[in-house]
C-alpha cells in the first residue's frame, strides 16, 4: 500500500529540516492564538476600545 503523497512529503521535509519540526510544541488553534493575543495585549486593546 502506498503512502499518501502529502504525508510522504511531510516526512521528507522533516528529514531535511529537523529544526523546523523539533520544537515539540502543539500547534495552536486560531481561537487559542486569539485568546493568547488578547490576554497579552489586553491593556492596549482596552485603550483602543475606549477611544
DSSP the chain: -PPPHHHHHHHHHHHH-HHHHTT-PPPPPHHHHHHHHHHHTHHHHHHHHH-
Residue 12 has pLDDT above 70, yes or no: yes
Tell whether the model's pLDDT for residue 16 goes beyond 60: yes
Share of residues in the chain with pLDDT > 70 (%): 84
pLDDT, tens digit, 9 for 90 and up, residues 21-37: 766 666 778 888 888 88
pLDDT of res. 27: 72
| Exposed/middle/buried for residue 3 (C-beta within 10 Å: 0-12, 13-18, 19+) | exposed
Mean pLDDT across 3-27: 78
Residue 2 has pLDDT above 80, yes or no: no
Amino acid at each position: 500500500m502506498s503512502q499518501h503523497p502529502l504525508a510522504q512529503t511531510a516526512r521528507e521535509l522533516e528529514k531535511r529540516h529537523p529544526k523546523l519540526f523539533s520544537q515539540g510544541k502543539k500547534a495552536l488553534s486560531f481561537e487559542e492564538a486569539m485568546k493568547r493575543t488578547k490576554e497579552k495585549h489586553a491593556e492596549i486593546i482596552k485603550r483602543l476600545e475606549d477611544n
